[in-house]
């Protein structure tokens, strides 16, 4: 009996048994290292040694695919020459790039029995041959999704073909390498995730359906430490107890349906600490328990909310009074205009009341701006106490307030509300140690009766308010069409006034001032006339507009230049007489304007080519200028008098006349206003007033001019008082330059 086959079979069975045993040992070794969480390099190094021990003469290596999937990088090859490992590390994969490069590229096993003559190694064979390597078998290492992770290779120093057992071995080695790589990367991701989880700057907690805490990061533990010290249960209802309950109900409804939720709520941190939170909840299905878990991402946004509140307050509210500001008022008005009555589809009616504190500048000037601010606070409080709850109140300018009264209100109700507000402001309050009582000039416009948009309704209320000021202040003015016409006229005149100088539309008229006893012209007042489109525009109309806009400064300089030109021309003709030139208070309003006024005379002397005849100039100022009581104004007028000018107080007695003004201010002359002169015939009381002014002026060594004399009765009374100069229609009306020059020439022949 031939026992050879039996012996061969027995040897083969023994070899297979030994292979299985060694295979189990390899799996056991690698699995044990994986479970210990050893570094990947250490595990792959051990795997290579195990394979080399199983197959004597083998030198194995593991190469890992780079993150971009284009190159192979050395990882474990303890018995290959270091020079060789360094040379192949970083080689790009390709269909004909050696054994490993081709295996990684094709995702299939590549067996090269003879490196020297194989086409895959054609461009690289010098490297392995120099290292004594003549055969290379390579198996791609794949993960559970069949993605290539790298290659496992077995090298030999002889030309060699693999046996079936060799193929099993290299395949097993690739599987073990895949296990080590995937597990290692999984543990790395897990450790990384855990680190990220614990390092998140926002609170994160994972709970089960019964609110049990499965995991929580340190921020959550800190955020909820007061109530959830043991972190076994996250009482969501309690945590969100100060949130809007309809929003909380919406949150739970989403979670019940397995849907995520995101929003902003209130979180209960402690009994006395309620915070604003941004909440993101994600529903996760646990495949192990087959129940839903919830990931709660909680961000404390209290600081942002507080900043938003601060920004909102600064954007919409007045920081001094706490009332709404101009921006908020505009937006509210626009919202009311845009809204419609839900019942009948009509626009909602409302009234806009603009209130400006009368003479507030004097409060600032006398009590100081700090006390002025205190007055504004008191006004805000008084107004708030007197208005209905549904009225919007705003401070829209320094001393200007606005009330928005919703609904259609009758005139009687609006007047009644104004009276309530006025009575509230009349109550005395003490500021800076002084009793203060206020009044307001108020304008009112109604939507949509007076206007149908925000800009127009504000404009109408503003026009009405200015009209209330012009009527004497401390009153309520309803907007009407006459106000609109006046405003349009004002705007039209302002537009044309800006170009009047450049279009040569101004002209000077001259009204003689005479000796009442001889009738001789001893002086003349220079009067400005504006002729636009062939029509005279009254100075009563355009001078206030010029002052309001600041154009009066340029116009005043033009007037003085023309007057000086006429004075010099008369000097040359031998008819020289003084000219009285009116000066607007606005031209002295600031120190810069005062300096400009003085500089004008310094500059104009050069332009006229000679010395200014200051002795022939009288500047006519108003009492309001003296009321400013600025030392700089007094110094300016003193300087002008020093140069030879005279200063006259025009319209004396019509304003805030005071002996102290005349005694302390540098003036030379008083002009008695025509309103006093024209009442002479009404009785002795009016005569006594003029007599008092004359007596006072002479006591102060001031010359006197009576203006507005139109009748013989008035002239006789003036003569009786020995007033030395008279101006009025009884003698002459204002006349153009040429007529005035002819009149002077004629007088020179008579006198």
Domain range list for the chain: 14-192, 200-306, 318-479, 501-750
Q: Which fold has domain 14-192?
A: Beta-Lactamase (3.30.450)
Rounded mean pLDDT of 196-221? 79
Kindly report, residue by residue over 564-614, the tens digit of the pLDDT: 999 999 998 888 899 999 999 888 888 888 899 999 988 888 777 778 999
End-to-end CA distance of the chain: 180
Rounded mean pLDDT of 113-134? 93
722 — phi, psi (to 5°)?
Answer: 60, 35
Q: Which of 160-164, 229-233, 647-651 has the highest mean predicted lDDT (pLDDT)?
A: 160-164
Beta-strand pair 429-431/434-436:
antiparallel
Nearest CA among 604, 597, 575, 350 for reference residue 454? 350
| pLDDT at residue 474 is higher than 80 | yes
In a 13 Å sphere around the CA of 212, the CA atoms on its Cβ side amount to 6
Q: What percent of the chain has pLDDT over 70?
A: 90
Q: What is the pLDDT of residue 179?
A: 84
Measured between alpha carbons, how far is 182 from 69 in angstroms, rounded to an integer?
16
Domain covering 200-306 in this structure, CATH number: 3.30.450.20
Query: Would 14-192 and 318-479 be classified into the same CATH topology?
Result: no
CB 650 within 8 A of CB 618: no
Kindly report, residue by residue over 420-454, the tens digit of the pLDDT: 999 998 888 888 888 888 889 999 999 999 998 99
Q: What DSSP string describes 540-593?
A: HHHHHHHHHHTTHHHHHHHHHHHHHHHHHHHHHHT----EEEE--GGGGSSHHH
| pLDDT at residue 19 is higher than 60 | no
| pLDDT at residue 729 is higher than 80 | yes
Helix (H, G, I), strand (E, B) or coil at 692: helix
CB 134 within 8 A of CB 181: no
Q: What percent of the chain has pLDDT over 90?
A: 50
The more confident residue out of 483 and 156 is 156
Measured between alpha carbons, how far is 204 from 713 in angstroms, rounded to an integer?
101
The more confident residue out of 410 and 189 is 410
| pLDDT at residue 557 is higher than 90 | yes
Kindly report, residue by residue over 299-337, the tens digit of the pLDDT: 888 888 888 888 888 889 999 999 999 999 999 999 999
Kindly report, residue by residue over 381-428, the tens digit of the pLDDT: 999 999 999 999 999 998 999 999 999 898 999 999 999 999 998 888
The more confident residue out of 724 and 32 is 724
Q: What is the pLDDT of residue 339?
A: 83
Measured between alpha carbons, how far is 652 from 661 in angstroms, rounded to an integer?
11
Measured between alpha carbons, how far is 458 from 356 in angstroms, rounded to an integer?
14
Which ranges constitute the DSSP H helices of 644-736? Answer: 659-664, 674-677, 684-699, 712-720
| pLDDT at residue 8 is higher than 50 | no
Strand partners, 131: none
- Average pLDDT across the chain, whole number: 86
The more confident residue out of 293 and 222 is 293
Measured between alpha carbons, how far is 391 from 393 in angstroms, rounded to an integer?
6
| pLDDT at residue 660 is higher than 70 | no
Q: What is the pLDDT of residue 3?
A: 43
Kindly report, residue by residue over 190-207, the tens digit of the pLDDT: 665 566 566 666 788 888
Domain covering 501-750 in this structure, CATH number: 3.20.20.450
Q: What is the pLDDT of residue 747?
A: 86
Instruction: Flag whether the pTM goes above 0.85.
Output: no
Q: Where are the beta strands (DSSP E) in 81-166?
A: 91-92, 110-112, 135-142, 148-156
CB 541 within 8 A of CB 493: yes
Q: What is the pLDDT of residue 14?
A: 41
CB 170 within 8 A of CB 145: no
The more confident residue out of 243 and 31 is 243
Total residues found in the chain within this entry: 751
User: Residue 340: which pLDDT band, with cuts at 50, 70 and 90?
Assistant: low
Number of Cβ within 10 Å of residue 492's Cβ equals 11
Q: What is the pLDDT of residue 539?
A: 93
CATH, domain 318-479, list 3.20.20.150, 3.30.70.270, 1.20.120.1760, 3.40.309.10:
3.30.70.270
Measured between alpha carbons, how far is 464 from 414 in angstroms, rounded to an integer?
14
Report the run of H or E that residue 60 belongs to, with start and end.
strand 59-65
């Amino acid at each position: 009996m031939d026992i050879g086959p039996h012996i061969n079979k027995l040897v083969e069975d023994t070899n297979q048994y030994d292979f299985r045993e060694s295979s189990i040992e390899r799996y056991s070794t690698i699995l044990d290292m994986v479970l210990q969480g050893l570094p990947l390099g250490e595990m792959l190094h051990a795997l290579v040694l195990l394979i080399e021990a199983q197959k004597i003469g083998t030198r194995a290596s593991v190469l890992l695919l780079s993150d971009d999937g284009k190159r192979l990088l050395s990882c474990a090859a303890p018995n290959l020459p270091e020079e060789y490992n360094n040379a192949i590390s970083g080689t790009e994969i390709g269909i004909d790039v050696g054994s490993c490069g081709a295996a990684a590229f094709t995702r299939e096993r590549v067996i090269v029995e003879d490196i020297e003559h194989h086409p895959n190694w054609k461009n690289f064979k010098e490297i392995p041959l120099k290292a004594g390597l003549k055969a290379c078998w390579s198996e791609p290492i794949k993960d559970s999704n069949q993605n290539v992770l790298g290659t496992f290779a077995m090298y030999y120093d002889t030309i060699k073909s693999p046996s079936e057992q060799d193929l099993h071995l290299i395949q097993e080695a690739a599987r073990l390498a895949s296990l080590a790589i995937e597990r290692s990367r999984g543990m790395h991701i897990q450790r990384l995730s855990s680190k990220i989880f614990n390092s998140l700057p926002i609170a994160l907690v994972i709970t089960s359906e019964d609110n049990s805490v499965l995991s929580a990061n340190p921020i959550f533990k800190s955020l909820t430490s007061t109530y959830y010290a043991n972190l076994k249960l996250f009482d969501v209802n309690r945590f969100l107890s100060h949130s809007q309950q309809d929003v909380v109900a919406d949150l739970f409804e989403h979670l019940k349906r397995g849907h995520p939720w995101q929003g902003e709520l209130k979180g209960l941190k402690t009994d006395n600490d309620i915070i604003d939170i941004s909440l993101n909840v994600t529903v996760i299905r646990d495949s192990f328990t087959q129940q839903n878990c919830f990931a709660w991402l909680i961000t404390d946004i209290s600081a942002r909310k507080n900043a938003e509140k601060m920004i909102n307050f600064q954007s919409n509210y007045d920081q001094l009074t706490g009332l709404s500001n101009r921006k908020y008022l505009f937006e509210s008005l626009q919202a009311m205009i845009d809204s419609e009555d839900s019942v009948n589809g009509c626009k909602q009616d409302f009234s806009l009341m603009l209130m400006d504190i009368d003479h507030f500048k004097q409060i600032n000037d006398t009590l100081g701006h700090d006390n002025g601010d205190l007055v504004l606070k008191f006004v805000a409080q008084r107004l708030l106490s007197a208005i209905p709850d549904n009225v919007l109140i705003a401070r829209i300018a320094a001393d200007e307030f606005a009330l928005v009264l919703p609904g259609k209100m009758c005139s009687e109700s609006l007047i009644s509300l104004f009276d309530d507000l006025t009575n509230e402001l009349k109550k005395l309050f003490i500021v800076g140690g002084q009793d203060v009582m206020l009044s307001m000039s108020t304008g009112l416009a109604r939507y949509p009766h007076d206007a149908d948009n925000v800009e127009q309704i504000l404009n109408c209320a503003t026009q009405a308010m200015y009209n209330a000021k012009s009527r004497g202040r401390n009153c309520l003015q309803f907007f009407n069409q006459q106000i609109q016409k006046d405003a349009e006229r004002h705007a039209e005149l302002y537009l044309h006034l800006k170009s009047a100088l450049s279009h040569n539309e101004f002209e000077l008229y001259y009204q003689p001032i005479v000796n009442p006893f001889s009738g001789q012209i001893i002086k003349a007042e220079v009067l400005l006339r504006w002729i636009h489109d062939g029509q005279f525009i009254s100075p009563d109309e355009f001078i206030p507009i010029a002052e309001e806009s600041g154009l009066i400064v340029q116009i005043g300089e033009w007037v003085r230049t023309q007057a000086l030109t006429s004075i010099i021309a008369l000097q040359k003709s031998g008819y020289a007489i003084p000219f009285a030139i009116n000066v607007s208070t606005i031209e002295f309003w600031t120190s810069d304007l005062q300096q400009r006024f003085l500089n004008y005379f310094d500059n104009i002397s050069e332009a006229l080519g000679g010395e200014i005849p200051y002795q022939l100039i009288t500047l006519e100022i108003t009492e309001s200028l003296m009321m400013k009581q600025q030392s700089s104004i007094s110094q300016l007028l003193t300087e002008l008098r020093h140069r030879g000018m005279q200063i006259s107080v025009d319209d004396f007695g019509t304003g805030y006349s005071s002996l102290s003004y005349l005694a302390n201010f540098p003036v030379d002359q008083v002009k008695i206003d025509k309103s006093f002169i024209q009442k002479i015939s009404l009785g002795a009381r009016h005569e006594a007033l003029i007599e008092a002014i004359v007596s006072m002026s002479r006591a102060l060594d001031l010359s006197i001019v009576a203006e507005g004399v139109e009748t013989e009765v008035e002239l006789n009374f003036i003569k009786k008082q020995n007033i030395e100069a008279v101006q009025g229609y009884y003698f002459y009306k204002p006349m153009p330059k040429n007529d005035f020059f002819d009149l002077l020439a004629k007088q020179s022949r008579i006198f």
